[in-house]
A = this chain, B = another copy of it.
Amino acid sequence: METINSVEAIMVRIGKCKKVKLEAEANGQKSTAYPIFSVTDVRKHTTKEDGIWVTYKDGVYNITDFVDGHPGGDVIMMAAGNAIDPFWNLYAVHKQPQILKILETYRIGTLSDADAEGDSSETLDPYAGDPKRNPSFIINSEKPYNGEPPLPMLVENFITPTDVFYVRNHLPVPQIDVEDYTLEIGGIGLRETSLTLDDLKTKFPKVSVTAAIQCAGNRRADMTKVKPVKGLNWNGGAIGNAVWSGAPLIDVLKFCGLTDLSKIRHIQFEGLDMDVTNVSYGASIPVEKLFNPHCDVILAYEMNGEPLPLDHGFPLRVIVPGVVGARNVKWLGRIILSEEESSSHWQQNDYKGFSPSIDWDTVDFKSAAAIQELPVISAICVPTNESNVKLKDGKLVVQGYAWSGGGCKILRVDITADKGKMWYTADIVNQEDAAAGRCWSWVLWKAEIPIDKNLKQTEIWAKAVDSNYNVQPESFENIWNLRGVLANAYHKIKINIVQ
């Protein structure tokens, strides 16, 4: 699941569950004001009927009235009758004063001394092994780490340098010793097979695919302006374009005995990144992606000519070009051919699109399709929103990127400085010469557009058109969705014109 980074959104969300007493005392501390409970007492309370109790540090809490309103969904039930400390270590966004105060409003007791002393979760930081990241990144979440480059940095290179490529982690980066690493492959019609990294490098051809990968939540920050959504506040930098190299997935599966395709519907991928209950990150793609050699699905062990870095899935990640980042599973541990989609939270109850009129009270995740291919999108990277710009000979230089999922080519990017009265077609500065339907790379574009010199402020809009002649929607009002995914409306920025 995606972590919650908007405290305001949480406050709004749970407002209906319980009036929040922000004056509540500091949290989880020993307090003689409450009854004493043992861990055994707490463990008895795991249902709505018995009450749902959790502990945090020394505090005991009855969160029965809160669980339905938990912005993170049902996952909160994993802590029922137990300590929430390890979960909060995993999803560190919870550790904010406002949320701690909310928790305190549910306090009913204090853990007995013996049990409280047994809790050492505070000392374990599952993110201790995470790698160092680009210090210039905008950090949307520290733990798990989610960071993006500032937009101007993105358009400096057609192939995004590895350390400029956004990082979207759902869980701590797993520490994998490549000597011990194996990829497990199984499911319908396959011999259960273990392959080492060396097997993957030596038994199969090495192919390279240049492909943009984008988070489903890219540009969510723009959608949020219409109405709050749940999700990381990506600004537009949650996309990058890299050269991925590795073994064709179809070759690997044939090696494992794939012959009868008739019963297979989905290819499931499991990562080696795990939550505190040892549940792996997981996702799946429809089998047609695999059977169609034009889809270029590979098991990548290299990114931009170097071994995959830790943040991008070392030692192995599946690359499904044209498909949302969430299905390009990192730290790949297992592949399963199945009749079913991945049962993971991220496939079933996240990364789906809904009508603007669906809210958290009415949402039925089963009613929507898991996001696979992403729609056409563009962003203005230079200048940035709200910046001061100087014109040159009455013109403004505008630069950005555009991309579309499913291998669709970008045909055109249109720019306007007067809300659409006059559209200028940008020059496509970089574009791969790819076959029709296999345009996996983004394009970088540039336009020099005349601006009325008398203006002190104006808006610049960008929209892209892809080879299906699909175009971005004009605004966010009618594509708004509660998770803030698929935020592909026109990119609109405001600039101040200075002399």
Taking Cβ atoms with an 8 Å cutoff, the residues of A that contact B are: 286, 288-289, 291-292, 294, 353, 355-357, 368-369, 371-376, 404-406, 408-409, 411-412, 414, 420, 422-425, 435-438, 463, 465, 467-475, 477-479, 486
Contacts and interface: CB of A to CB of B under 8 A. Distances in A.
A375 B478 contact: no
B474 A414 contact: no
Given A355-B412, A368-B411, A406-B406, A436 B286 contact: yes
B375 A288 contact: no
Given A289-B436, A292-B437, A412-B355, A478 B374 contact: no
B423 A374 contact: no
Contact of A425 (B355, B424, B473): B355
Given A294-B294, A411-B368, A437 B288 contact: yes
A411 B424 CA distance: 33
6 contacts: A288-B437, A289-B437, A356-B423, A404-B468, A470-B470, A471-B478
A474 B475 contact: yes
Contacts of A472: 473
Contact of A473 (B288, B374, B408, B474): B474
Given A373-B467, A469-B374, A473-B471, A422 B357 contact: yes
Contacts of A463: 478
B423 A357 contact: yes
A438 B294 CA distance: 14
Contacts of A353: 411-412, 465, 469
* Residue with the highest number of chain B CB atoms closer than 10 Å, among A357, A424, A463, A472: A357
A223 B88 CA distance: 54
Given A292-B292, A294-B294, A356-B420, A376 B470 contact: yes
Give the 10 A-B residue pairs with the shortest CB-CB distance, closest first: A286-B436, A375-B470, A373-B468, A470-B470, A288-B436, A357-B423, A355-B423, A375-B469, A292-B294, A469-B486
Given A288-B437, A372-B468, A472-B473, 16 more contacts: A288-B435, A289-B436, A292-B294, A353-B411, A353-B469, A356-B420, A356-B423, A368-B411, A369-B467, A373-B467, A373-B468, A423-B478, A468-B470, A471-B479, A473-B473, A473-B474
